[in-house]
Amino acid sequence: MKTYKKFNLNNYILVKITEYGWNELKKRSYGEGYINHCIMPRKKIINNEEWFELQTHEVISLFGDMVWATSPAPLEVMIMINEEDLE
């Protein structure tokens, strides 16, 4: 039997944004200002890789319509979730 845990969409996850994802953010209404002030300050370096800590609902709002509908994808497939956020 599977065990399920709850996860609040207000919790933070770590994502890796692809070059395509950055380009799409720049093209959309978010632009450079949003990227520089709202995303870049949340950069974390883990194992020499750039990750960005965003609330789950932010990721859905920013990339939701692009994740499965486009190729290449705007995000790497793997994300990181803090185990303490799982109930």
For residue range 5-62, what is the model confidence (pLDDT) as tens digits?
A: 999 999 999 999 999 999 988 988 778 899 999 999 999 999 999 999 999 999 999 8
Q: Is residue 28 included in any domain, yes or no?
A: yes
Q: Is residue 6 included in any domain, yes or no?
A: no
Q: Is residue 62 included in any domain, yes or no?
A: yes
Q: Count up the domains in the chain and report the number.
A: 1
Between 3 and 50, residue with greater pLDDT: 50
Segment 57-72 mean pLDDT? 80
Q: Is residue 7 included in any domain, yes or no?
A: no
Backbone angle region of 63, left / alpha / beta, with phi > 0 → left and psi within -120 to 50 → alpha: alpha
Q: Is residue 68 included in any domain, yes or no?
A: yes
Q: Is residue 4 included in any domain, yes or no?
A: no
Q: Is residue 2 included in any domain, yes or no?
A: no
Sheet holding 43-46, edge to edge: 43-46, 49-55, 12-15, 80-81
Which residues form the domain of 25? 12-85
Q: Is residue 72 included in any domain, yes or no?
A: yes
